Amino acid sequence: MPIVSMRQLLDEAAKGGYGVGAFNVNDMEQIQAIMAAAVETKSPVIMQASRGARSFAQDRYLFHLMLAANELNPGIPMAFHQDHGNSFETCKSAIELGFTSVMMDGSLREDGKTPSTFEENVEVTRRVVEFAHSRGITVEGEIGVLGGVEDGHGAGGSGLEHVTDPDQAVEFAERTGVDALAIAIGTSHGAYKFNKKPDGSVLKMNILIEIHKRLPHTHLVMHGSSSVPKDLQAIVNQYGGKLKETWGVPIEEIQLGIRNGVRKINVDTDNRLAITGAIRKVFWETPEKFDPRDYLKPAREAMAKVVAERMREFGQAGHAGDYAPIPIAEMAKGYESGALDTRPSLAGAR
Ligand SMILES: [Zn+2]
């Protein structure tokens, strides 16, 4: 199966009423872990690479590893996505590399740290949409600013400083035509999201629900949505790690989001914790070992277990065989004709 457009994958998720996990990759073992979980649960896959990942692995290595995953698993629909593009150039280079989807995170300036103005965000995102859609490629935008810093990207803070304003979200969708929209509802990147189990004072699910009501044709994206389970934290600390106590986004809140328009859920921290815990365990229990396979294999298995769990919890399990891929060139025609237009003033009229 050719690599599919993320838009198609999310449209199918909307029809089926489920969400799709977007898992970050940096190396071969992470890619293999996702594919093992997808095969086990018969799930469609969104594989995403940050700028940090692209520079860590180098574009050609990373892209060809992802292609290998696609070649070896012809029955699994897969989209390759640029996570947090910081500029038009970053998004363009991802599209030229062969990715089928890009995130233009115009909520921050090109430095990836300073919050931008609304007009700056609209301008750069609109430009990316124009370039991407004419090539059949999906675009995710961001309105509002998430908390935390990951891979050097982020404004820091708790996630409550720049919560998305629903009026702005509607105007942003109208003026940019993005396929998917990341919103800030109090979540943060990284392991330290909340200092207690989050309630409505720090996790604003009511805002998400309001945005979905007003933007029913735009797929919503939850970032910073690892659940940071206690058992994964405990394994890391049991074998010499020093994680401070922390809380992630509870699965039931993500599932509430999925019932209200969330189609893509970004998960990275949980996988990092699973990998690190598994490696620490091997080092701690068998310090005489020095073959990388002795710790990379359990690390890969630990990540596959977490990914498979999330695929079941998000509801994407069992949906890999539901649809045939729409060629990317067909998607480009759909954008050109207006059939794929998500702008509230046009999509509502169809
Ligand atoms: Zn993110």
- In the reported structure, the alpha carbon of residue 191 is separated from the centroid of ligand 1 by a whole-number distance in angstroms of 13
With bands split at pLDDT 50, 70 and 90, how would you rate the model's confidence at 44? Answer: very high
Return the pLDDT at 350. Answer: 56
Above 90 in pLDDT, residue 177? yes
Return the pLDDT at 347. Answer: 73
- In the reported structure, the alpha carbon of residue 3 is separated from the centroid of ligand 1 by a whole-number distance in angstroms of 22
The pTM for the full model equals 0.97
Rounded-to-integer distance, Cα 110 and Cα 120, Å: 11
Residues whose CB is less than 8 angstroms from the CB of residue 199 and which lie 6 or more positions away in sequence, other chains included: none
Q: How far is CA 199 from CA 19, 127, 213, 263, in A?
A: 22, 37, 22, 22
Rounded-to-integer distance, Cα 118 and Cα 46, Å: 28
Q: Is 270 a catalytic residue?
A: no
User: Domain 6-338 maps to which CATH number in 3.30.950.10, 3.20.20.70, 2.60.120.260, 3.90.105.10?
Assistant: 3.20.20.70
Residue type, 33: A
Is 139 within 8 Å of 125 (Cβ atoms)? Answer: yes
Q: Cα-flanking dihedrals φ and ψ of residue 219, to 5°?
A: -70, 130
How does pLDDT run across 212-239, given as a tens digit for each residue?
A: 999 999 999 999 999 999 999 999 999 9
Q: Where along the chain do its domains lie?
A: 6-338
Query: Residue 20 pairs with which residues in a beta bridge?
Result: 264
Residues whose CB is less than 8 angstroms from the CB of residue 34 and which lie 6 or more positions away in sequence, other chains included: 23, 25, 45, 47, 69, 303, 304, 307
Rounded-to-integer distance, Cα 59 and Cα 65, Å: 10
Collapse the DSSP code of 39 into the 3-class scheme (helix H, G, I; strand E, B; otherwise coil) and give the result: helix
Q: Which residues surround ligand 1, an ion (CB under 5 A)?
A: 223
Nearest to 24 by CA among 52, 4, 59: 52
Rounded-to-integer distance, Cα 140 and Cα 223, Å: 12
Is 218 within 8 Å of 179 (Cβ atoms)? Answer: yes
Which tokens is 286 given?
């068998």
With bands split at pLDDT 50, 70 and 90, how would you rate the model's confidence at 148? Answer: confident
Above 60 in pLDDT, residue 169? yes
- In the reported structure, the alpha carbon of residue 116 is separated from the centroid of ligand 1 by a whole-number distance in angstroms of 16
Above 60 in pLDDT, residue 170? yes
Residues whose CB is less than 8 angstroms from the CB of residue 58 and which lie 6 or more positions away in sequence, other chains included: none
- In the reported structure, the alpha carbon of residue 84 is separated from the centroid of ligand 1 by a whole-number distance in angstroms of 6
How does pLDDT run across 282-309, given as a tens digit for each residue?
A: 999 999 999 999 999 999 999 999 999 9
- In the reported structure, the alpha carbon of residue 272 is separated from the centroid of ligand 1 by a whole-number distance in angstroms of 15
How does pLDDT run across 233-259, given as a tens digit for each residue?
A: 999 999 999 999 999 999 999 999 999
Q: How far is CA 132 from CA 7, 148, 262, 321, in A?
A: 12, 28, 22, 27
With bands split at pLDDT 50, 70 and 90, how would you rate the model's confidence at 159? Answer: confident
Nearest to 120 by CA among 160, 150, 111, 34: 111
Return the pLDDT at 245. Answer: 92
- In the reported structure, the alpha carbon of residue 189 is separated from the centroid of ligand 1 by a whole-number distance in angstroms of 6
> What's the chain's average pLDDT?
96
Rounded-to-integer distance, Cα 211 and Cα 344, Å: 12
Rounded-to-integer distance, Cα 184 and Cα 205, Å: 10
**Sign of the four-CA dihedral 346, 348, 349, 350:** positive
Candidates 11, 27, 83, 231; catalytic one: 83
How does pLDDT run across 186-206, given as a tens digit for each residue?
A: 999 999 989 999 998 899 999
Return the pLDDT at 158. Answer: 82
Q: What average pLDDT score do residues 130-139 get? A: 98
Collapse the DSSP code of 145 into the 3-class scheme (helix H, G, I; strand E, B; otherwise coil) and give the result: coil
Above 60 in pLDDT, residue 72? yes
Return the pLDDT at 348. Answer: 60
Residue carrying structure tokens 């910073």? 224
With bands split at pLDDT 50, 70 and 90, how would you rate the model's confidence at 323? Answer: very high
